[in-house]
Structure 1
Amino acid sequence: ALLLLALPADANGVPAGVLVGYGAVLLAAAADGARRGLRARLPLGATARRLALPLAVVLLAAPAGATVAYGAAREEAREEAFQQSLLARIDTADALVKAREGADFAFSERDYRTALDTYERVALDHPDSRAAKLVPERMDAYFASVSTPYAQKKYCEAVDPLTHLRSLPDSVDKGVLGNRADGLDDSLARSLYECGAAEFGRGAIQSSYGSFTELASLFPTSEHIGKVERLVGDGLRKAAAPLGEGSASDPCATTEQVRKQRDDVAGLKGYALAGPVADAGRAVQKGAFSCGAKQFRDGLYSEAVTSMDRYAKDYPDSPQAAHARTISIAAQIADHEPAAGKKLPPATAPGGSRMPMVVSNDGKESVELLYTGPVTGKITLEACGTCENYGTFRDVVDPDAKPCGGPSSKYPKATLRLPAGTYHFLQRRAGGGFAVAGETKTSKASVEPGYTYTNCLYVTTVR
């Protein structure tokens, strides 16, 4: 009955209740045997009686030997169960790796790390187990699974998993990892380049520069550094070419795009791109001037002033800086008198004789006089300390007062020397910029050879 209950041997052994019951049966049998033996009167000879002791030894040895044999079988069963549990852990880790193969690494990393930790713990904690002997093969499968995007040439998707594999020597036991992480530098460098190049090709410039920046940071001597320099440099020169050639249909938008791209390229660390950046800078300079000129021709005078003032500020040593300032002046006049914007001011002043025009200020505030025609410019006249505005109150006090009627020496004045031609003038409070209506005055005058001209500015109070 005991054999039927105990066999085959289980890792947990025979239930304790069965053993206790069996022990009780043995004790009862022994007591009954002692009782019967002590009382028995057997008609046996001395020879037969001498067999009692060996028989007793056999009877004792049989269960004792069986107990030892059973214990050995139980330990074997216990070891087998333990081995099976380790193999089950390996199988569970294998299932995680298989399920995540080719999936987005951001969502798979946790499961991958769980599987990797299982392999490492089994190999280190139970090195002689059957499961531990499977770990090298499983580690090869792990690397193959994680690097699937690279094998499929999905380079952008390969960057994160390759970065993970490359970092394993810092966290995984060398005996478990082996040399599997060797050679990943080349794979990661290629992935960063190919990913950045693909992004660059479809216009995702910022994303591509992120990949290129990481490439230069991690692998400054990689062969892919030169490829990036050629790719980015040629791309910048291509983008800037319409500005340099003057063929951009929208020089304002193109200039801003190239300016931003140039600044981004200049910010790429670890690359020799000074040449393309300088070329793009020269193209941006030409584009900035073309932008302001086009705005002027299109009647966008306020925008033209902003563009040309910026040009003169950004490129003060440019041969076109002076021309930019004259276009800005003409645009300010044209903003109040559109007839002044029919054509760009000339880049160079005409030759020939010039006629003097003496401009005086009969006003108690300083004023600016802007003019454009054959030549364009601006002068500022200081305030007349003894002058008053003309208007109702002054007419009552001094009804005979006439604008600019005092002695010439009384007024602040300046002399312009103007070539013959038609001029547009804008008078405004000094420093007023784009003054509001009522604070400016426009006028038009013709300058002819052989004459001297005077122009006196004054302020009339609104009645």
Structure 2
Amino acid sequence: MNTETKKCALCAEMIPIEASTCPYCGAKYDVTIQGYCSQDHRVVTADERGLCPTCGGPLIDIRVESHHLEKPLAAPQPVTPSPTPPVEAAPTAQPVQSESTSKKSWRARLEGSLSLPLVVGLLNLNGLGLGYLYLRKWRRWFGILFVDFLLFLMAAGFNTSKNPPLWAGILGVWLLFQALNGWWRARKLYSFERSHLERHLPFAFYAAVVILVVECVGFFLFRQAGQKAFEAAKTAYEAGDCTTARTYLGDLDTIYRFTLIPELAQAENWSMECNILENASLIAEEGDYDEAIQEYARYLNKYPQSGLVPIAQEGASGAYQAWATKLREEGAYEEALLKYEALASSYPNTQAGTQVNTWIAETYMGWATKYKEEGEYATAIEKIDELLHDFPDTPSGVNGKDLASEIYAEWADQLLQAEDYGEAFRKYEVIVSEYPNTPAASKFDAVLNDLIETGTEALADGRHCQAVMIFEALYAGGYLPEAESSIDLADTLFNCGQEEFAAEKYDEAIAHFEALITNYPDSPLVGQAEAALVDARVAQMKVAGTGELPPPLESGWTTPGTSAVVISNDSPERLEFLFSGPDSKSFIMEPCETCINYMFSPIFCPEKGPSMTVSVVPGTYQVVVRAIDDSSITPWSGTWELADGRQYFNCFFIVTRLQ
């Protein structure tokens, strides 16, 4: 039995919805009852009892349509009062019944206004094609699901974050198409198809509404979660914490990719930035510093305005610093300096950039120490000089003076062992003058005293050359005490020169003979030194290579006990003659002013130039003649046998041969 009511159009009393006549005013209604019986017979009847005319069973799932037909011809007759109190005619619960009935009437009106196209459209509006499922259009429903899947793949492949409004529009158009197509498909159904589908319209309607509400609320919460993830990623990104940021950015790129929030594109850029930075950091940790620096540079070129630029700069400078440190540990100091210079020029404002001068100074310090240990003292001093000149205020620059003095001291000790006393003193002079407050400078007096003692012992023991070298160095540096400044080294110089001459050390012998002649002109050894000097020079020139000098021609007689040689200089050059033998001597002849160089040797001696007669003790002489002012002229040398009491003649001219 249907309990729904309706309000009478004339008397406004509430009467049963299936009533065809108002019991209060007699108003008439056209009532049609539609529904199904328990045997699933479709019934359309005006029987207020609501029974199936076929099987007599009660109707279920009924729909009642009631339309007012006409007004009553006479005023309604009041109900005859009964002896009982009039309360029975107007029950006191009437207002409550009216309110409940009104609520049921609202729901009935809502459900009564439903139509199959509307409900199908609402079911399709959720995007799952449920309207087609309700219509039992299986192929169309599967088609909708397939298109949904294709759209999902397209959205995932083309990345909705790059253009959220576009994909929101595509989704909206697709949902609207489904709704309109479902509405249109439902309208095209035949009446016998629609009649059975309309039995569950209210349920389908409520289901569609619930699904839409759940989808809308779920999508709203989904977007809110995506927005929160973005805010968390933004906070971590701005703090430079890419590790934390990437956790949220990864969620935005996967879980929340379809939230369609406009910030997804920005999040994708941040993710790419963090990927580059973390990749560069990992490469640097693996020791591939060159690749890491290039990766940081790629980031800086691609994102010059990014908020993570300082972090990238710090990472690149750190890679340079680590690379240079590794090279220093391997002893590749020059390459390490190149990395430090690149760091200083490219990233001067980074933390590493502010400390690079200290590291460069340490590199020079280590480089100098390496050369010192290898005994390459000159190169070590070069590196220390660069350190002290360019980075004097660094800790290494302050300590560099001590290291420099140590290098000079070791260098001087090595020179002392090699008996190069003069050069050793020069190293100590540098220590005393430039690094006076270093430990090495304080040791100089002890070294000096030891050297004086060694020189004195050498004099006493006849170690002439060692004594000469020591005291020459002491004299030159002004370090010889006054008590010993008058030491006569003439004999020592002569003997040292003789020892060196015998050992064929002609350059050293010449130097010592010349020192004796120059420094001790009053020494009785000067004459011997001059002769020995000639012998040494002749031997030196013969070793260097000379032309052949033929013996002179006998030209007459001279005083017995002597030999005489008449020499004519027929060349335009000054000539020096060196006679090394029993009476070693040297002399110089002036050039011939009118003589020339010959292309071919003349048949006879021209005898146009100055001449000189040289008297010597008879014997065998090694003779060398050289042009003093033209080193391109090859000296001549030869052996002359000069007999007692004989006179000889020789003239000298220059023959120029074409090369």
Matched, 1:197 2:405: no
**Aligned with residue 84 of structure 1, among 254, 271, 286:** 271
The CA deviation string for residues 44-101 of structure 1, in whole angstroms up to 9 with x for no partner, is xxxxxxxx9xxx9999999998888779713365555444323321222023212226
Counterparts in 2 of 1:208 and 1:26: CA distance versus 1, 3 Å: farther
Q: Is the 8 A contact 1:383 1:412 kept in 2?
A: no
Counterparts in 2 of 1:413 and 1:201: CA distance versus 1, 3 Å: same
Matched, 1:379 2:566: no
**Aligned with residue 238 of structure 1, among 413, 416, 419:** 413
Matched, 1:73 2:259: yes
- Which residue of the partner structure matches residue 297 of structure 2? 117
**Aligned with residue 12 of structure 1, among 139, 159, 162:** 159
Cα distance in 2 between the residues matched to 1:293 and 1:23: 121
Cα distance in 1 between the residues matched to 2:634 and 2:502: 21
Query: Residue type matched to 1:319 in 2?
Result: N
**Aligned with residue 297 of structure 1, among 491, 497, 502:** 502
Counterparts in 2 of 1:289 and 1:158: CA distance versus 1, 3 Å: farther
SS in 1 for 2:354: coil
- Which residue of the partner structure matches residue 28 of structure 1? 181
Counterparts in 2 of 1:124 and 1:297: CA distance versus 1, 3 Å: same
Cα distance in 1 between the residues matched to 2:170 and 2:407: 82
Q: Is the 8 A contact 2:276 2:295 kept in 1?
A: no
Q: Is the 8 A contact 2:565 2:648 kept in 1?
A: yes
Q: Is the 8 A contact 2:564 2:613 kept in 1?
A: yes
Query: 1:31 deviation in Å?
Result: 4.1
Q: Is the 8 A contact 2:168 2:260 kept in 1?
A: no
* Unpaired runs of at least 5, structure 2: 1-127, 129-143, 161-166, 190-194, 196-204, 224-256, 445-468, 477-488, 544-560, 593-602, 605-609, 628-632, 652-659
Matched, 1:456 2:637: no
Q: Is the 8 A contact 1:190 1:224 kept in 2?
A: no
Q: TM-score under structure 2 normalisation?
A: 0.39
Q: TM-score under structure 1 normalisation?
A: 0.52
Cα distance in 2 between the residues matched to 1:137 and 1:382: 80
Aligned pairs (5 A) from 1:19-418? 24-32=177-185, 73-75=259-261, 78-100=265-287, 108=289, 110-117=290-297, 120=300, 125-127=305-307, 138=315, 142=319, 145-146=322-323, 148-149=325-326, 154=329, 156-157=331-332, 160-161=335-336, 164-165=339-340, 167-172=342-347, 174=349, 177=350, 179-205=351-377, 207-209=379-381, 211-220=383-392, 222-242=397-417, 244=419, 272=434, 296-298=501-503, 300=504, 304=506, 319=519, 326-331=531-536, 359=564, 361=566, 370-371=578-579, 376-380=584-588, 412-413=612-613
Cα distance in 2 between the residues matched to 1:160 and 1:336: 49
Query: 1:119 deviation in Å?
Result: 6.2
**Aligned with residue 640 of structure 2, among 432, 436, 441:** 441
Cα distance in 2 between the residues matched to 1:159 and 1:173: 20
Counterparts in 2 of 1:318 and 1:245: CA distance versus 1, 3 Å: farther
Q: CA RMSD in A?
A: 6.4
Cα distance in 2 between the residues matched to 1:188 and 1:290: 54
Q: Is the 8 A contact 1:369 1:379 kept in 2?
A: yes
The CA deviation string for residues 304-348 of structure 1, in whole angstroms up to 9 with x for no partner, is 2x66668899x899638988864441135568999xxxxxxxxxx
Query: Residue type matched to 1:331 in 2?
Result: A
Q: Is the 8 A contact 1:363 1:383 kept in 2?
A: no
Q: Is the 8 A contact 1:123 1:135 kept in 2?
A: no
SS in 1 for 2:407: helix
SS in 2 for 1:86: helix
Cα distance in 2 between the residues matched to 1:88 and 1:336: 78
Q: Is the 8 A contact 2:577 2:588 kept in 1?
A: yes
* Unpaired runs of at least 5, structure 1: 37-41, 43-51, 102-107, 247-254, 339-355, 385-392, 395-409, 446-453
Query: 1:193 deviation in Å?
Result: 1.7
The CA deviation string for residues 5-36 of structure 1, in whole angstroms up to 9 with x for no partner, is 46798581369998876554344235456789
Cα distance in 1 between the residues matched to 2:582 and 2:336: 69
The CA deviation string for residues 272-325 of structure 1, in whole angstroms up to 9 with x for no partner, is 49999xx99x76999x99997655213x4xx72x66668899x89963898886
Query: Residue type matched to 2:272 in 1?
Result: S
Query: Residue type matched to 2:294 in 1?
Result: T
Q: Is the 8 A contact 1:332 1:434 kept in 2?
A: no
SS in 2 for 1:457: strand
